[in-house]
Chain A
């Protein structure tokens, strides 16, 4: 009978492999030639190690271990990135090392671009001084030079303008089968259309290709369809037995909506809102690539044009952070509106 290795022994073997492989790879000078192969094999070995380790970790420490993995792996990736760039394996021009990006990010946050007359945050530390010298108009000027504020303003106003009517129309569609069948095919057709494509129409409609209204309108329309379709599905999905219970216990039409239909469809409504905020960010970055003088999307493209790649990456990072914050905000609102879902898997 073959002897089974224990997890501990397997771990040692994998660690041995890891060391020997990297030593050989480096000595043979293979990193410069086929670094992708090296990275892939190292990744494979890390996967094995992480697997075996999870068998050794005790049940009560499992949560901690998972947290360690979730935080540890991205850090590992950053370290590998830094090291490979500094070793000259990756081109520092196209892939500036994380430390350089971090520095660029700090410059973006604190700096002011005198050529485009813009800044990332609108230099909020100047607000007290400007307030004293120029009053509210000066403060407004500061807000106007902010890229982050520009994007945030477009996303949030478009999101609100679109999703509130979207929920209302979705409820009407969900409650009435004839209305649903009448509108459904049309809605579905528009739903699959990439939302940016209606930007030219909006520029025509508003006769203002560089202004804010067409940008906000595209986001609003995108948010409208996402929320309307999801709300409709949610309302139509409320289980019949809840409707029967509502009726049997004497709910009138308004009570029925308030106590049964609305809370019953909230999971779908929030799924729609989360989709809508994601789409809004997508759309606004695309639009800011094409037609804008401010905004995070513009910033990414601008630093590509003038070849300051570390600032391009820093701007990208800001888009990521904004996306995470916005969807986190929607989730927080969901937790607050739907306390009965706490401790339950959010669908």
Chain B
């Protein structure tokens, strides 16, 4: 297996009016190609910062962050599925999904064909010409996921993609993500605060400490694939969820005390 993501000695310090604040502290992680990695931590632990550094949206203060390019150098290294959807209200579903391809100069027919394939994969083919304000939150996040997949990146970065959705919609989308991942085997970094989601979806769970964030433990999720919502009924699932929660609880308490 080749190494897809390599992070070593990563620090991120923000220069705020109230002085310097460490967001991420001495973080190390190696991810193999085709793995689904969840990063779990209490709120404010710097997991979104970490993802933005991986996405190239923020520069690291110190350390190495590398995503290995694939065989095709024209493919983008990463694409982000944002928590707030971040699909453009002024573009139709089709144009939103084709956005990355359009930026990279693909012709209209090629990008629409690819976009339509992924719109179909997330089950939105009836809504191709709709604008975002005409569809629900869950559908918007499907568009956001389709946009990232149509871009065909080396690594898929997901920043709490289901955080803003209600529990039922979340279940449906969890199954969709599982199903898409099983068929594409993309390398995924998945930021979440939901342990259930992390256990259900990932191969590995990276638990982060409270602020400033660093790696606390890594759990291997040995539950067999393909998984589905029925996985949530198994004993291994329950056991691992509890194990992660026990470790996370201390960090949540620490984070709460800091905010007081």
Contact between B99 and A241, CB atoms less than 8 A apart: no
Q: What is the bound-complex CA distance between A47 and B87, given in angstroms? A: 46
Summarize A's interface: helix, strand, loop or mixed.
helix
Give the chain A neighbours of B52 by CB distance below 8 A: 244
- Asked if A248 meets B57 with Cβ closer than 8 Å, knowing A255-B103, A344-B133, the reply is yes
Q: Which of B36-44, B65-73, B76-84, B243-251 contacts A (4 or more CB under 8 A)?
A: B76-84
- Asked if A251 is at the interface of the complex by the 8 Å CB criterion, the answer is yes
Contact between A249 and B100, CB atoms less than 8 A apart: yes
Give the chain B neighbours of A344 by CB distance below 8 A: 133
Q: What is the bound-complex CA distance between A245 and B151, given in angstroms? A: 12
| The one of A247, A252, A260, A343 that contacts B88, using a Cβ cutoff of 8 Å | A260
Interface positions of B from 102 to 117, Cβ below 8 Å from A: 102-104
Chain A residues within 8 Å of B, Cβ to Cβ: 239, 241-242, 244-252, 255, 259-260, 263-264, 266, 338-340, 343-344
How far apart are B100's CB and chain A's nearest CB, in angstroms? 4
Indicate the member of B86, B92, B134 with the most A CB atoms within 10 Å.
Answer: B86
Contact between B78 and A248, CB atoms less than 8 A apart: yes
Categorize the interface residue count of chain B.
20 to 34
- Asked if B123 is at the interface of the complex by the 8 Å CB criterion, the answer is no
Contact between B103 and A249, CB atoms less than 8 A apart: yes
| The one of B82, B100, B132 that contacts A241, using a Cβ cutoff of 8 Å | B82
Give the chain A neighbours of B56 by CB distance below 8 A: 247-248
Give the chain B neighbours of A266 by CB distance below 8 A: 90
Closest 3 pairs between A and B when the two form their complex, measured CB to CB: A263-B90, A249-B100, A245-B86
How far apart are A259's CB and chain B's nearest CB, in angstroms? 7
Q: What is the bound-complex CA distance between A207 and B127, given in angstroms? A: 61
- Asked if B89 is at the interface of the complex by the 8 Å CB criterion, the answer is yes
Q: What is the bound-complex CA distance between A248 and B156, given in angstroms? A: 12
Give the chain B neighbours of A249 by CB distance below 8 A: 76, 79, 99-100, 103, 147, 151
Q: What is the bound-complex CA distance between A246 and B132, given in angstroms? A: 17
Contact between A244 and B90, CB atoms less than 8 A apart: no
